[in-house]
Amino acid sequence: MDRAHVRLQDELQRARQQQLHALKLIHGYGSKGVGGAIRIAIQATLARRVKEGVIRAFIPGEDFRISDEVTWELLRRFPELKQDRDLGRGNKGITLVVF
């Protein structure tokens, strides 16, 4: 779990340095199919980062669909994301970070 948090911080910092607008995290869903500890911990950390103003928002994979308000805003800004294969698939093994 600690390695996942360190990796998350490194990737967020790298994405900001590269001035990316969004980052897709692939964290998996856990081997038992019930939501994985890494997924839960990463999304809790991202929720804190939103409150701290470090990131603008995050979109759990299950919410990455056109009917989601945050997703729709991201798609309007970056229409090329409409081609992402995970859009609308309810993939709980990913999370999108919006800077």
Containing structural domain, residue 91: 2-98
83 to 17, 19, 26, 80: CA distances (angstroms)? 25, 21, 17, 6
| pTM confidence score | 0.89
Distances in Å between the alpha carbon of 28 and those of 33, 36, 51? 10, 8, 24
Q: Compute the distance between CA of residue 76 and CA of residue 28 in angstroms, rounded to an integer.
A: 27
Q: At residue 58, what are phi and psi to the nearest 5 degrees?
A: -140, 155
Instruction: Look at residue 56 and give its three-state secondary structure.
Output: coil
**pLDDT, tens only, 27-49:** 988 766 666 888 999 999 999 99
pLDDT at 2: 83
Q: Please give the pLDDT value at position 37.
A: 86
Q: What is the DSSP letter of 95?
A: E
Q: Three-state DSSP class for 36?
A: coil
Q: What is the pLDDT of residue 34?
A: 65
pLDDT digits (tens, 9 = 90+) for 4-13: 889 999 999 9
- pLDDT per residue as tens digits for the range 51-92: 999 999 999 999 999 999 999 999 999 999 999 999 999 999
Q: Domain count of the chain?
A: 1
